Amino acid sequence: MNVYERLNAIRKAVAYIQKDKQVGSGGWGYKAVTHDAVTAAVRESLIEHGVMIVPSLDSCAVIADTGMATAKGTPTIRFEAIFDIRFVNVADPTDFVSMRVAAHALDEGDKAPGKAVSYATKYAMLKLFSIETGEDDEDRVAMKVAKKVESDKGRVQPTAGAMEALDQAGQSAVVAAASEIEEIFNAGKTRLALNVYIEFKKKHPDVEPQAALRSILSSKCKSALRREGELMAKGAAPVTPVPVNQADVEKALAAGDAALARDLERSLAQQGEAA
């Protein structure tokens, strides 16, 4: 038997795996099938039909500055990689099928690479063997397209990666926050944008939503927020914002721009506190 015949025999033997793990809770919760569950389901068939799975690292990158940390202050790193997952005919090692799979993982220790290779191998098995898991993954990553930001530099584009760990409600919340932050930042109000970012982190303390938010903010915005945060930590005075008044808020409401009205109300409140 060649490798394709062997793989097809395994496909016939394994048809369904129920998602066995609850990840997160509330708006961020979703069901997932674990690497161990998939391995347990296909292992005997792999042995019976003479197929060995051989993962190898194609490329990788480590992002040390994710802006996240544990409650004890330990930094969280992000490991991103592309793996080559080979399904090899044990009777003829030159006869194999290869899949390239992108994967990433977050961890505060040394487990991120292991998590990433497990993720890549698991999904290679699920997809190659056409295994059903009882949940539509596409529904989980679907989201409303973020509202268009007028400035070309501030358009928010939903991306995969960190977003895939969230359900639809969580993704919508992240995209809405990113749109608001970018819009405020492009209006020249970096301190106000930072406040919105901090509020989001307080409301969503889990790693997944915070990573998702950072993944879709523009590099320019993230750099500016980081610098503004450093100034805030040092007690430096913020750049003087453009003065606003109640009439500006009313104009925004009359124009139907509720988001701008909220931004102006925040600026107006900050002016009152500074006065």
For residues 275 and 263, what is the distance between their CA atoms, to the nearest angstrom? 18
Nearest to 3 by CA among 38, 40, 53: 53
Q: What is the pLDDT of residue 25?
A: 46
Q: What is the pLDDT of residue 150?
A: 38
| pTM flag (> 0.85) | no
Q: What is the pLDDT of residue 159?
A: 41
Residue spans per domain, the chain = 3-135, 140-239
For residues 209 and 198, what is the distance between their CA atoms, to the nearest angstrom? 13
The 3-class SS string of the chain reads CCHHHHHHHHHHHCCECCCCEEECCHHHCEEECCHHHHHHHHHHHHHHCCEEEEEEEEEEEEECCCCCECCCCCECEEEEEEEEEEEEECCCCCCEEEEEEEEEEEECCCCHHHHHHHHHHHHHHHHHCCCECCCCHHHHHCCCCCCCCCCHHHCCCCCCHHHHHCCHHHHHHHHHHHHHHHHHHHCCCHHHHHHHHHHHHHHCCCHHHHHHHHHHCCHHHHHHHHHHHHHHHCCCCCCCCCCCCHHHHHHHHHCCCHHHHHHHHHHHHHHHHHC
Per-residue pLDDT of the chain in tens (275 residues, 90 and over written 9): 999 999 999 999 987 786 666 554 444 445 678 888 899 999 999 999 999 999 999 999 998 877 777 777 788 888 999 999 999 999 999 999 999 999 988 888 889 999 999 999 999 999 999 888 765 554 444 333 333 333 334 444 444 455 666 776 777 788 888 888 888 888 888 888 888 888 888 888 777 787 778 877 888 888 888 888 888 777 654 444 556 677 776 765 665 556 556 766 777 777 666 65
For residues 165 and 147, what is the distance between their CA atoms, to the nearest angstrom? 22
Q: What is the pLDDT of residue 23?
A: 52
Conformation bin of residue 96: beta by default, left when phi > 0, alpha when psi is -120 to 50: beta
Q: What is the pLDDT of residue 27?
A: 46
Conformation bin of residue 219: beta by default, left when phi > 0, alpha when psi is -120 to 50: alpha
Q: How many Cβ atoms sit within 10 Å of the Cβ of residue 204?
A: 21
Q: What is the pLDDT of residue 145?
A: 33
Collect all residues with Cβ–Cβ distance below 8 Å to 17 and sequence separation of at least 6: 33, 37, 38, 41, 126, 131, 132, 133
Of 3.40.50.970, 3.30.390.80, 3.20.20.70, 3.30.499.10, which CATH number belongs to 3-135? 3.30.390.80
Dmax of the chain from CA atoms? 81
